[in-house]
Amino acid sequence: MTRAFREINAAGDCRARLGEVTTAHGTFPTPIFMPVGTQATVKAVTPRDLKDAGAGIILGNTYHLFLRPGHELIRELGGLHRFMAWDGPILTDSGGFQIFSLKDLAKISEEGAGFKSHIDGSKLFLSPESAIKVQEALGSDIMMALDTCIPYPADYDTAARATELTGRWAARCRKAHKNQDLLLFGIVQGGMFPELRKQAAGELIDIGFDGYAIGGVSVGEPTDEMREMTRVSAALLPRDYPVYLMGVGTPEDLVESVFFGVDMFDCVMPTRNARNGMLFTEQGRIVIKNARFRDDSRPVDEACDCYACRNFSRAYLRHLYVCREILASYLNTVHNLRYYLRLMEGIRQAIAADKYLEFRREFYRKRGMDVPVY
């Protein structure tokens, strides 16, 4: 098994740490945020924009690429990197969350997940073995083991059965893993039950993976429960492997999760919110369509160095948005992605200087918020 992670510096007063992950398509620093490119594209921007924003790795999705255009076609065309003209690392989600979110179209069994395509209704099947086969065909630098996501709320017995199934699937994924140049991460499930998360983490560590992900959060639970399960799960995982929190979240969630020891993040929030006119700033979020920005000559965020903030005013971005101009989605997305990636740059710099708690306090001060206490 490849040892992909190297810890460079650890904070002296919390679990935050600075590191790097080495993959077949390069090395990226951690903590890091991965822009979501579900269908081989990060919506509204180009790979060049992603490079300019500081993206070190992006995310694709097994389920969606399996449906269209198909993993075999992508393999024939040179793999996912060539297909989408991105030469950096790519992580692919196994499809477990998408199957969970399409539960009315899916049936979970010991063998895997049978489901109907949300596109044309055709019957399809994804097993742990085929999830790995698809990801190897795509050429993902980091593949995810197939898991079964647990809804919120769920009782203990339901969560236990799903967690045990995820463990059995994880072992099958590891056995099916052929291309050792591609890293494979296991996913800790367990619902909102710390004892199940402890069980799941132990099983995955015994199987042995290149990294470990925290799954089954941000599925409808309150923020305090999500953060507690993140804290509990991160503390269970070995420090010499990368820890990835799946599908989370807000800037505040990222800052807190780094505090708990998480290294990697993904979320559709910066891109989806951009297309809906919600922009992130150091002082908090703004909704650009609001009338108060009609004659506002300032950039979205005076601290931001993105193309949108260097060249355009809030008034112009509001005009584009209310007129439904395509350029609004582009510029808003460029800004939000740069905000997230610049936030992670600041986090890494603070950890390197052993000033993460100071950074965290200043982050909340700018927002007029109290620092969370655990």
Single out the residue in 267, 287, 319 at which a domain terminates: 267
Q: Which of 93, 210, 253, 301 is catalytic?
A: 93
Are 278 and 170 in the same domain?
no
Task: Flag whether 5 is in a domain.
Answer: no
What's the pLDDT at 100?
Answer: 80
Q: Label residue 54 by pLDDT band (50, 70, 90).
A: very high
The answer to whether residue 7 is domain-embedded is no
**Residues forming beta bridges with residue 10, ordered by sequence position:** 17
For residues 189 and 250, membership in a common domain is answered with yes
How far is 64 from 251, CA to CA, in rounded Å? 27
β 123-126/142-144 pair status: unpaired
Say if residue 322 is in the same domain as residue 238.
Answer: no
Rounded to an integer, the average pLDDT of 82-91 is 98
How far is it, in rounded angstroms, from Cα 23 to Cα 27? 6
**Rounded Cα–Cα distance for residues 44 and 333 (Å):** 7
Burial (CB < 10 A; 0-12, 13-18, 19+), residue 46, is middle
Q: Could you read off the pLDDT of 58-71 as tens digits, one per residue?
A: 999 999 999 999 99
Per-residue pLDDT at 99:
79
The answer to whether residue 3 is domain-embedded is no
Tell me, yes or no, whether 373 lies in a domain.
no
For residue 207, which amino acid is it? I
Taking Cα atoms as reference points, which of 220, 268, 275 lies closest to residue 247?
A: 268
Residue 2 scores a pLDDT above 60: no
* Rounded average pLDDT over 96-116: 85
Is the pLDDT at 308 greater than 80? The verdict is yes
Same domain (yes/no): 234, 346: no
pLDDT tens-digit series, residues 136-151: 999 999 999 999 999 9
Where residue 57 sits, what CATH number does that domain have? Answer: 3.20.20.105
Domain presence at residue 374: no
pLDDT band at 103 (very low <50, low <70, confident <90, very high): confident
The per-residue pLDDT for 106 is: 81
Task: Write down the pLDDT at residue 121.
Answer: 87
Q: Which of 233, 267, 301 is the last residue of a domain?
A: 267
Phi (first) and psi of residue 126, to 5 degrees: -130, 115
Q: What is the CA radius of gyration of the chain?
A: 20
Does the active-site annotation cover 93? yes
Shared domain for 238 and 330, answered yes or no, is no
Mean pLDDT check: name the lowest of 64-68, 70-74, 92-96, 308-312: 92-96
Q: Please, which pLDDT band fits residue 176 given cuts at 50, 70 and 90?
A: very high
- Confidence tier at 118 by pLDDT (50, 70, 90): confident
**Statement to judge: residues 128 and 224 lie in one domain:** yes
Q: Span 211-228, mean pLDDT? A: 97
**For residue 96, what pLDDT is reported?**
82
Catalytic entry in 141, 147, 253, 266: 266
Q: pTM of this prediction?
A: 0.97
Domain boundary among 220, 251, 267: 267
* Domains identified in the chain, total number: 2
Residues 307 and 163 in one domain: no
12-28 pLDDT, tens digit per residue, is: 889 999 999 999 999 99
**Structural domain contains residue 6:** no
145 with 284, same domain: the answer is: no
**Pair (118, 161) in one structural domain:** yes
Q: Is 63 helix (H, G, I), strand (E, B) or coil?
A: helix
Q: Kindly report the average pLDDT of the chain as a whole number.
A: 96
130 with 168, same domain? yes
Residue 323, pLDDT above cutoff 80: yes
CA dist 29 and 10 (Å) reads: 14
Tell me which residue range forms the domain holding 215.
12-267
- Identify the pLDDT of residue 115: 85
To the query of whether residue 295 is one of the catalytic residues in this protein, the response is no
Tens of pLDDT, residue by residue over 25-44, are: 999 999 999 999 999 999 99
- 89: in domain: yes
Asked if residue 302 and residue 159 are part of one domain, the reply reads no
Ranges of H-type helices in 150-217? 156-176, 194-207
Residues 251, 315, single domain; the answer is no
> Quick check: 259 pLDDT over 90?
yes
92: its two tokens: 């692919």
Tokens of 28: 């990226």
pLDDT in tens, 262-279: 999 999 999 999 999 999
The answer to whether residue 346 is domain-embedded is: yes
Confidence bin at 81 (pLDDT 50/70/90) = very high
